[in-house]
Structure 1
Amino acid sequence: MKLLIRNLNRATTEDQLKTLFLSYGSIQSCTLVLDKVTGASKGFGFVEMPDNGEAKKAMKSLNGTALDESIIRVKKAEDKASKE
């Protein structure tokens, strides 16, 4: 399951995000979305977890918690194809 993590502190790193989610299970991928010009974080990212049960537990537990002085929001990411 692919999770969208929003409201990240711009200083948060992929390693910090990965470490946070690893406590809930295995991670397939972890990506921060970066500005193409500056290379700075845009304040959101994605974590993919192969086990849906672990992903749901992480989403429920981490949504609304503090990370680097920001209250993060975690939800299931929508597929690009379903938006069109």
Structure 2
Amino acid sequence: MSKRLYVGNLNFSTTHETLQTVFGEFGTVITCTMPTDRETGLPRGFAFVDYATSKEAEAAICSLDGKIIDGRPLRVIEHQERAGRDHFGPGGGGGGGRGGRDRF
């Protein structure tokens, strides 16, 4: 079963090829994605790396978390799916009150 890693604190000049090479040392990298800003197209400073097995992913976490790549220490952890963003669920919303002090 494949395992996805979150890679944070990337230098904005770090390339996809660099990540493929560095993470490829620990096993078969299925995918490596580096999200970019919608407006500028520039990297957002983090990536996701998918390994073929949990064993390979664990080896990468142990070896690469805190390792300096392109001048910055990487943050490498197992990716945790974010809870769905229910439009009408808790949080968000607001609106509200008019006025404040000396309202009347």
Moved over 3 A (4+): none
Give the structure with the higher percent strand.
1
**Residue in structure 2 matched with residue 52 of structure 1 by the alignment:** 54
Which fold has the larger relative contact order, with Cα–Cα distance below 8 Å and residues 6 or more apart in sequence?
1
Find the aligned partners of 1:70 and 1:33 in 2 and give their Cα distance.
Answer: 18
Aligned partner of 1:19: which letter?
Answer: T
Q: Distance in 1 between matches of 2:11 and 2:28?
A: 23
Amino acid at match of 1:26: T
TM-align CA RMSD: 0.8
Corresponding residue of 1:64: 66
| Percent identity over paired residues | 34
Flag structure 2 segments of 5+ consecutive residues without an equivalent: 85-104
Tell me how far 1:33 sits from its aligned partner.
1.2
Q: Which has the larger radius of gyration?
A: 2
What is the alpha-carbon distance in structure 2 between the residues aligned to residue 14 and residue 50 of structure 1? 18
2:81 paired residue number? 79
Q: 1:2 aligns with which of 1, 4, 23?
A: 4
Larger helix fraction of residues: 1
Q: Is structure 2 residue 27 aligned with structure 1 residue 25?
A: yes
Give the Cα separation in 2 of the matches to 1:51 and 1:26.
8
Count of aligned pairs between the two proteins: 82
> CA offset at residue 23 of structure 1?
0.4
Identify the residue that residue 97 of structure 2 maps to in structure 1.
none
